[in-house]
Structure 1
Amino acid sequence: MEVKKTILDTKVMSQQNELAQYIERYCHEDGVHSTTISSLHFIRASHKSAPIHSVHQPALCIVAQGKKLVMLAQDRYQYDPAHYLVISVDLPVSGEIIQAEPENPYLCLRLDFEPKQILDIVMETDSSTNEEGDSQRGLFVSRMNSFLLDAVLRLVRLLDTPDDLPILAPLVIREILYRVLQGEQGDSVRQIAMIGSHAQRIAKVIQLIKQDFAMPLRIEELAFTANMSSSSLHHHFKQVTRLSPLQYQKQLRLQAARHLMFSKAADAADAGFQVGYESPSQFSREYARMFGLPPISDIKRLRQS
């Protein structure tokens, strides 16, 4: 058994080295780089980073070199070449690159996906999930395996043959998602796509909150839409996101306000008002609690960095 494990680890290491070489070839500088496959992105960073807040969409993230720490509420998830990260619903997270240097930059692949892609695979493979059971977290880290990496490498190699992309890329992406579903925490992804499951209904509520995050939150209306009681909605929402619906909305508001101040040069009072805050003092207080500094000081720090 130990021999098999050593062989597998050696193979994964070799595959990760090849993946790192491909990412380096397509990333001549630090940043997030799009590819000719619309859902595929490469990320490069030469230095460690401060925590970066974002609302992360459903995606598979594979680190070929370096390490990253992601925080969801109070939960911490670290991933590296030996582990991959999956986010199955839109989640407000903070991400921090914790291992990167100019000689060995952080190199990462991100493959975005939609619940419908998961549902199509589930329906065809006749997989099942427990719709009545507790919802599972919408973010997880799993041990890397050579089967998943083999499919990922075949997708990346297709960038060298653009004429093959329209036919082969969708097939390989489907295989990659199938490998994720077959992984040790595949049910966490499968449940989001299963129509009628608690998690699928929570995913629908998340989209409703995102669409109108500046409006007052009406839990009873959200519960009615999800066909749940208010207490059941709160329970399953927290199981999936680690946040209550109100906390989730607050994070969306504060991240949107930060974007308005940084990118649109809005002042703090106006940004807070645009995202739904009626009290400037409450906005400033909750902003400082989330980002560590009051709005003006935080934006000044961001511009300097």
Structure 2
Amino acid sequence: MDAVRRQLIELVSFHCKSDKQTTVVPGLTLFRSERPTAPVRSLYNPRLCVVLQGKKEIIIDRNLIEISPEEYLVVVLDLPVSARVSQASPGSRHYAVTLDLDPQIIAEIVAGDSDQSSPIAKTAGAATSAVTRDILEPLERLTRLLDRPEDIKTMAPLIYRELIYRLVQGSLGDMIVQSTIATSGLARIARTTVWIKSNFDKALSIANLAEMAGMSQTSYYRAFKSATAMSPLQFRTRLRLHEARRQLQLGGVKIGTVAYAVGYENQSQFSREYRKLFGNSPKNDLHPH
């Protein structure tokens, strides 16, 4: 396994020209860093994250997840997170790879796998597990396609499906499977996170979200917090503030206009919550156009 990891490190080192490098292989992103980084708040889509060298920290609300080269992370919901490289140096760079997870492909593989056991009743939206050769080998072959771009169209979908199959067969398989079964608690929560993501500027009703999930309000609130480590209201607030920051950094806007656009009626409240999340005022992130 160490040989496969070394090959992956060589590939990432060669093809990753900046701290974060999107690639021509669909869904594949490469990362590198020569030093620990400050926390960056972002919205994680469903993904696989494999750290090859160094360490990375993910904070979901107040829950800390540390990813080392011995582990991989799977996220099955859209989750607002704070992420940082926690271990890296010029002599021992941090290298990592992420791969977007396609729920439709997962569902197809699960449907065709008659031996897949019924999912357990857990609703965590993100978890880590010990990395294995079964995960690293197809990931290495997928990354190696960057050396042969003419093969990507034909080979990438095949290797991708193999990797998803290995993930479903692995120790996080139950969590991944649950995210695709419409009647599971995790999939029900996922439906509502998708709705909140598309309607974060609107009023939020726990009763309506619970009805959408087909749960009682109490069960829904508990399941949502288990899956995302935050309440629906906190989840919506983070989405609002992430979008506000994006608009401010694009420039050419007024703070009050941005606050109203993401759903705030009170600019003072917006500024207060913005500072609490990002550690500085909206004015500091406002890019002059």
What TM-score does the superposition give when structure 1 sets the normalisation length?
A: 0.89
The one-letter code of the counterpart of 2:35 is: H
Q: Does 1:129 align with 2:118?
A: yes
* Counterpart contact for 2:181–2:187, Cα < 8 Å: yes
The one-letter code of the counterpart of 1:37 is: V
- CA distance in structure 2 between the aligned counterparts of 1:182 and 1:134, rounded to whole angstroms: 17
Q: Does 1:73 align with 2:61?
A: yes
- Which residue of 1 is the match for residue 134 of structure 2? 147
Q: 1:265 to 1:85 in 2, by over 3 A?
A: farther
Deviation of the 1:189 alpha carbon: 1.2
Q: Kindly provide the CA deviation profile for residues 50-70 of structure 1, in whole angstroms up to 9, marking residues without a partner as x.
A: 110011001111111221100
Deviation of the 1:146 alpha carbon: 1.3
Q: Does 1:50 align with 2:35?
A: no
- CA distance in structure 2 between the aligned counterparts of 1:135 and 1:83, rounded to whole angstroms: 20
Q: Does 1:253 align with 2:245?
A: no
* Counterpart contact for 2:36–2:85, Cα < 8 Å: yes
The one-letter code of the counterpart of 1:169 is: A
- CA distance in structure 2 between the aligned counterparts of 1:234 and 1:291, rounded to whole angstroms: 26
Q: Kindly provide the CA deviation profile for residues 103-149 of structure 1, in whole angstroms up to 9, marking residues without a partner as x.
A: 3322111110121111111111122434xx64321111111111211
Q: Percent same amino acid among aligned pairs? A: 34
The one-letter code of the counterpart of 2:104 is: K
- Which residue of 2 is the match for residue 9 of structure 1? none
Q: Kindly provide the CA deviation profile for residues 161-189 of structure 1, in whole angstroms up to 9, marking residues without a partner as x.
A: 23332222111111111111222222111
Aligned mate of 1:200, from 187, 203, 206: 187
Q: Does 1:21 align with 2:5?
A: no
- Which residue of 1 is the match for residue 217 of structure 2? 230
Q: Kindly provide the CA deviation profile for residues 261-299 of structure 1, in whole angstroms up to 9, marking residues without a partner as x.
A: 1223433322211111111121122112212233224x2
- Which residue of 2 is the match for residue 188 of structure 1? 175
| Partner SS state of residue 125, structure 1 | coil
Query: What does 1:155-194 align with in structure 2 at a 5 Å threshold?
Result: 155-194=142-181
- Give the gaps of 5 or more residues in structure 2: none
Moved more, 48-57 or 222-231: 222-231
| Partner SS state of residue 112, structure 2 | helix
The one-letter code of the counterpart of 2:34 is: S
Deviation of the 1:102 alpha carbon: 2.7
- CA distance in structure 1 between the aligned counterparts of 2:191 and 2:175, rounded to whole angstroms: 16
* Counterpart contact for 1:58–1:88, Cα < 8 Å: yes
- Which residue of 1 is the match for residue 48 of structure 2? 60
- Which residue of 2 is the match for residue 213 of structure 1? 200
What TM-score does the superposition give when structure 2 sets the normalisation length?
A: 0.93
* Counterpart contact for 1:234–1:245, Cα < 8 Å: yes
- CA distance in structure 1 between the aligned counterparts of 2:185 and 2:211, rounded to whole angstroms: 13
Query: What does 1:7-18 align with in structure 2 at a 5 Å threshold?
Result: 12-18=1-7
Deviation of the 1:195 alpha carbon: 2.0
- CA distance in structure 2 between the aligned counterparts of 1:180 and 1:129, rounded to whole angstroms: 15
Q: Tell me the matched-pair count.
A: 287
Q: Does 1:38 align with 2:55?
A: no
Q: Kindly provide the CA deviation profile for residues 11-30 of structure 1, in whole angstroms up to 9, marking residues without a partner as x.
A: x22221110000011123x2
Spell out structure 1 runs of 4+ moving beyond 3 A: none
Q: Does 1:106 align with 2:104?
A: no
- CA distance in structure 1 between the aligned counterparts of 2:122 and 2:204, rounded to whole angstroms: 22
| Partner SS state of residue 38, structure 1 | coil
* Counterpart contact for 1:65–1:106, Cα < 8 Å: yes
Deviation of the 1:193 alpha carbon: 0.6
| Partner SS state of residue 83, structure 2 | strand
- CA distance in structure 1 between the aligned counterparts of 2:252 and 2:188, rounded to whole angstroms: 37
* Counterpart contact for 1:202–1:236, Cα < 8 Å: yes
- CA distance in structure 1 between the aligned counterparts of 2:230 and 2:6, rounded to whole angstroms: 37
- CA distance in structure 2 between the aligned counterparts of 1:162 and 1:258, rounded to whole angstroms: 35
